[in-house]
Amino acid sequence: MLRRLSIRNVVLIDKLDLDFRDGLSVLTGETGAGKSILLDSLGLALGARADSGLVRHGCDKCSVTATFTLPAGHPVFGLLAKQDVHIQDDDLVVRRVVTADGRSRAYVNDQSVSVGLLRDVGDYCVEIQGQFDQHGLLDPTTHRSTLDAHGNLGSLALAVRDQWRNWRDTQKELTATKTRINKAREEEEWLRHAVDELEKLGPEEGEEERLAEERQFLMHGEKLVAALNDAGNELSRGKGAESALRSAQRHLERELQKAEGRFEPIIEALDRAAIELEEASRAISSTLTDLNIDTGQQETVEERLFALRAAARKYNVPVDGLRALMKDYRSQIDQLEFGEKELSRLTVAVAQHRAAFVDVAQKLHTARKAAAAKLDAAINGELPPLRMEKARFVTDIIALEESEWGTDGIDRIQFMVATNPGSPAGPLNKIASGGELSRFLLALKVVLARVSAVPSLVFDEVDSGVGGATAAAIGERLHLLAEERQILVITHSPQVAARGRTHFNIAKTEDGGSMVTRVNELIDGARREEIARMLAGHSITAEARAAADSLLDKPC
């Protein structure tokens, strides 16, 4: 329930702290006293649109704080947990600050949140119903969920939603598969030609780089062979370098004894040189043998390289991508060969999921019919006490065309009313007049109270346009509703005001040269005087006080 509302610097309200109790709380006051400001303030705390015009003149900002005490397990705690906003106990404090330039900030238990999240939190905690409010039960899009909640059809509705998604997901898969196969069929001849061409070509990954390197080498092959031949010729010119080294070595060896060791290093160096020279000659011969350059090899390499590159240009892929492309084309051809089986499987699955959806949606349709009959009977039972004996409430359930089916099933649901005997029922938000609409909504609220998760309901002039016995009936029904939920009602009706467990008076007074709105809780004599004023006007008579006593004597 809403436990406290604290308002600072909102239009005519400079400072206000209101403590609320459970049951029915009524707020009364003369026209223009500031009742709408109070509602605007509460709406601001619940995520309504911020307006710099709400900031009291001369102030740089305004703020509204609403404190709620909620039962454990209330849905709002799960909503906040998903947003990483943690609540330490059962108290929920929402706060909104608006600056004079129109900027606003939102908080939940002093944690900064988005205005969107604040609005979602507010929807779970309070429902504000104005006389001409076009939200809530006046919005036809809410009628389906309202009926499902009243009939306790949540699990069946969830099953319908799941079966719909299964059906549509499988249908999408079938459509995508058909598209792929149809495309493959259109390109089958070209695909088979491409696969045949690529298989004959037989591209390998890394082949382009290897062939390019080999071609580069072969382009310089003749120069390499010539260089090796020239080197060999130089080594063998005349007697040859090796022969010269050995001759020099023999000359020194003849006089070796006479040199007393001086020739030995020279002889050893000549011997090493001869060995290295011999190895160089063998290396030249071996390299010439290994090269064995075939003049036709370069042409073969170039033809292969150019064929690969031509195929890559044709299929618009890198040379190294040709093999993967060949595999992809093979896969598309395989889809043609095996796709019919997949299409058959998906077609059967789609039919099965559709049948499952239709089955559970039909069960929901039947359950909604039964729930609608009970809802209609309950609401129509509330209308006579509200002085609407001739009015009729009807829940209209229309079976939709298959093209209109969706996650909510196969029904269109709308609340309809007929206000006069013999007249056709029409949409609730279009047929009923202001006073009638308020009473229809009140009857709905009384019936739906037990299934709503919203703990606090606010009615703004629900008794507008009625008086006397009808106003008394509205007060009785608000009193009944307050047994299930906390009710706050702004009223001009003394019959309604007298039914309140708590009574607040809203008045506008002058303070320090400026007008301010004050809200005071009325008890005992003060409450009697306010109800007498509502009955008689400014000149309160003894008869008015007696009438007030009569109204207040009724048990609350």
- Which tokens go with 482? 């307050």
Angle (nearest 5°) at CA 282 between 278 and 286 = 170
| Contacts (Cβ under 8 Å, ≥6 apart) of 361 | 160, 163, 164, 405, 409, 410
pLDDT at 113: 92
Distance, CA of 43 to CA of 35 (rounded, Å):
13
Run means of pLDDT, 10 residues per run, the chain, 556 residues: 92 91 91 81 90 88 92 84 79 92 90 91 83 59 88 93 96 91 80 90 86 75 70 68 74 73 80 82 75 68 87 90 90 77 91 97 96 94 87 93 94 90 82 73 80 82 73 86 89 90 89 83 91 85 88 74
pLDDT at 134: 41
444 neighbors 137 (Cβ within 8 angstroms): yes
| Contacts (Cβ under 8 Å, ≥6 apart) of 422 | none
pLDDT at 239: 59
Nearest-Å Rg of the Cα atoms of the chain is: 47
Distance, CA of 395 to CA of 372 (rounded, Å):
6
pLDDT at 132: 42
Q: 455 phi and psi, to 5 degrees? A: -80, -20
